[in-house]
Amino acid sequence: MIRIYKYGEVANSEIFARAVAEVDVTAIVSDIIENVRKNGDRALLEYSEKFDKVRLSGIEVSAQEIDEAFSSVDAEFVRVMKKAAENIYAFHSRQVRNSFLIEGEDGIVMGQRITPIDRVGLYVPGGTAAYPSSVLMNSIPAKIAGCGMIVMVTPPGKDGKVNPNILAAAKIAGVDRIFKVGGAQAVAALAYGTETVPEVDKIVGPGNAFVAEAKKQVFGKVAIDMIAGPSEILVVADKTCDADVIAADLLSQAEHDKLASAVLVTDSEQLALDVQAALERQIPMLSRAEIARTSIDKNGKIIVADSLERVIEIANEIAPEHLELCVDNPFDYLGKIRHAGSVFMGKYCPEALGDYFAGPNHTLPTGGTARFSSPLSVDDFVKKSQYTYYTKEALGKVAQDVALFATREGLTAHAASAVARQKK
* Active site positions, annotated: 321-322
Give CA–CA dist 2/375, Å, rounded.
29
Instruction: Find residue 262's DSSP bridge partners.
Output: 233
CA 96 to chain centre: 18
DSSP per-residue letters across 68-118: HHHHHS-HHHHHHHHHHHHHHHHHHHTT----EEEE-GGG-EEEEEEEE-S
- Three-class secondary structure of residue 255 per DSSP: coil
Give CA–CA dist 95/26, Å, rounded.
36
The burial class, CB within 10 Å (0-12 / 13-18 / 19+), for 407 is middle
Closest CA to 134 of 335, 415, 362, 340: 362
What angle, 0 to 180 degrees and rounded to 10, lies between the N-to-C axes of helices 183-192 and 209-218? Answer: 20
Give CA–CA dist 305/8, Å, rounded.
8
H helices present in 203-265, as ranges: 209-218, 243-254
Give CA–CA dist 69/46, Å, rounded.
25
Give CA–CA dist 377/365, Å, rounded.
12
| Dihedral pair phi/psi, residue 324, rounded to 5° | -100, 125
Contacts of 310 (CB under 8 A, 6+ apart): 7, 267
